[in-house]
Chain A
Amino acid sequence: MTATTHLDRALKLATIALTLSVGSCALDPVHDGAVKALGPEDPAIPQGPFHRQGQPCAVCHSVQGPAKTTFVLAGTIFYGPGSPTGADQASVRIIDATGAKKCFITNCKGNFFVRPEEFPKSQPIAFPLLVSATKGSAYKAMASRIGREASCANCHRNPRFFDSPGQVRLYETESQVPKQSGECPPVGPPVFDPDACKENFQ
């Protein structure tokens, strides 16, 4: 084998290596790391609206994926201070920077999500947002605005600390939490109370 053949092979290998490295530039290692940090799925809960309660939804549900659907805002509302139970049928009220008011209902895991399609194409959701959550007599409003974060859980983490106000919890004590009934995920399609999300923003 001549030196020229060696050189040809080296050049081919270098070209392949360069092509591969350029291809890998399309990946975002920060996003990749954030997705991996979420850990595996709970085998008891299939992928869908009831999964990954309390996790930052828009890590995966963003244009970068890997989820197929995109959320512009999503999160979980919990019941009491020590309860891991999501608040079912709670209303999440949003007022965006244009003054558009929208209301979303949590499912039986306390999860809610806002898709871009929920807002008209001519006037998409505009941050910052004012957000409050309510269920029955329980009412919680954010003290600050949401500047641009789509996942509630990126700021609302457990435990409460200098950099987080804790998870969103509707009740101050466990005794206030209403008794739960029914299966979650529900056997049939979830039933929403149309009166639960009245346009009564405060």
Chain B
Amino acid sequence: MMRRLVVGSLVLALAATVVGSLPSCASVPDRNRFTAVVAPDFAIYRANIDLFLHKRCGTLDCHGQAGRGYRIYGYRGFRLYSQDAGLISGQQATTDQEIQANFDAIISIEPEEMSRLIAENGENPNRLLFLRKPLNIERHKGGPSLAEDDEGYKCITAWLRAPKGGALTATAKKDCDEAGKLP
């Protein structure tokens, strides 16, 4: 009986060693590899989307904090840390670097899916995690924070449909202006 226990333990230990060593067989990541993204228009984002997302999603207790994968920087909340700029929450206006960081953050959530969406002229935008989460199609810690009849949603989807270097339609511009009035 004792002998069977010892043999059993040895077999278990050997199996654990083999399973544990498997991940070390993975290949070394290629540091030069990158993912090119077909991005939506930055100028439209900057003029119409950034302020709305900052107000709606970027408070210090939501996406305006270091613990979030999708971070939003700006005047009212989390600032892009820079010793030179010395940005303080609630003091200086949102900087160009912060708007660029916010834009990059959206693109980086699902770069391949974003590329596909923009290549297909923004059709079916709810495939993006960026929209599925606030619409609560996918679990969102902050609960539902956007609805499809919301001006903000209409503004974002119009931006995703807009051609690069193009402009929003008059209706979409009106939606964006309304969305930006959020307190």
Q: Which residues of A contact B (CB under 8 A)?
A: 2-4, 7, 128, 130, 143-149, 154-155, 160-165
Residues of chain B within 8 A (CB-CB) of A3 are 1-2, 5
**A155–B88 CB distance below 8 A:** no
Q: Using Cβ atoms and an 8 Å threshold, which residues of chain A touch B183?
A: 130, 145
Contact, CB under 8 Å: A144 / B55: yes
Task: Determine whether the beta carbon of B89 is less than 8 Å from that of A160.
Answer: yes
| Residue in A4, A7, A146, A161 whose CB lies within 8 Å of B59 | A146
Expressed in whole angstroms, the Cα–Cα distance for A57 and B90 within the complex equals 23
B contact residues vs A (CB 8 Å cutoff):
1-2, 5, 55, 58-62, 64-66, 75-81, 87-91, 142, 183
A-B contact pairs, 22 of them (CB 8 A): A3-B2, A3-B5, A128-B59, A144-B55, A144-B58, A144-B60, A144-B77, A145-B55, A145-B59, A147-B59, A148-B61, A155-B60, A160-B88, A160-B89, A160-B91, A161-B89, A162-B79, A162-B80, A162-B81, A162-B88, A165-B89, A165-B91
Q: How many A-B residue pairs have CB under 8 A?
A: 62
Contact (Cβ within 8 A) A147 B61: yes
| Residue from B61, B62, B76, B89 within 8 A of A162 (CB atoms) | B89
B145 to chain A, nearest CB (A): 8
Chain B contacts for A147, CB-based, 8 A: 59, 61-62, 142
In angstroms, how far is the closest chain B Cβ from the Cβ of A10? 9
Q: Which residue of B lies closest to A162 (CB)?
A: B79
Q: Determine if B89 and A148 form an interchain contact, defined as CB atoms under 8 angstroms apart.
A: no
* Interchain CB contact under 8 A, A163 and B91: no
Closest CB-CB distance, A84 to chain B, in whole Å? 20
CB A173 to nearest CB in B, in angstroms, measures: 17
- Do A155 and B79 touch (CB < 8 A)? no
Interface of B is mostly: loop
Inter-chain CA distance A195–B59, complex, in Å, is 32
Residues of A with C-beta under 8 A to B55 = 144-145
Other-chain residue from A4, A128, A145, A162 in contact with B78 (beta carbon distance below 8 A): A162
Decide if B87 touches A162 in the complex (CB within 8 Å).
Answer: yes
**When the two chains form their complex, are residues B5 and A7 in contact, meaning their CB atoms are under 8 A apart?**
yes
In the docked arrangement, what's the CA distance between A26 and B31, Å?
Answer: 41
Please indicate the chain A residues that have their CB under 8 angstroms from the CB of B79 in the complex: 162-163
Pick the residue among B61, B81, B90 that contacts A146 (CB under 8 A): B61
In the bound complex, residues from chain B placing their C-beta under 8 Å from that of A2 are: 1
For the complex of A and B, 4 pairs with smallest distance between CB atoms = A149-B61, A165-B90, A144-B76, A147-B62
Q: Is the CB of B61 within 8 A of A155?
A: yes
The residues of A that contact B78 with a CB separation of less than 8 Å are 162-163
Cα(A154)–Cα(B59), bound, Å? 12
Nearest Cβ on chain A to B140's Cβ, whole angstroms:
11
Q: Give B55 Cβ to nearest chain A Cβ, in Å.
A: 7
The answer on a CB contact under 8 Å between B66 and A163 is: yes
Q: How far is the CA of A130 from the CA of B80 in the complex (A)?
A: 24
Task: Choose from B59, B62, B80, B89 the contact partner of A164 (Cβ within 8 Å).
Answer: B89
Chain B residue contacts of A146, Cβ below 8 A: 59, 61
Contact B61 A165 (CB under 8 A): no
A148 to chain B, nearest CB (A): 6
**CB of A74 to closest CB in B, whole Å:** 14
**A residues within 8 A CB of B91?**
160, 165
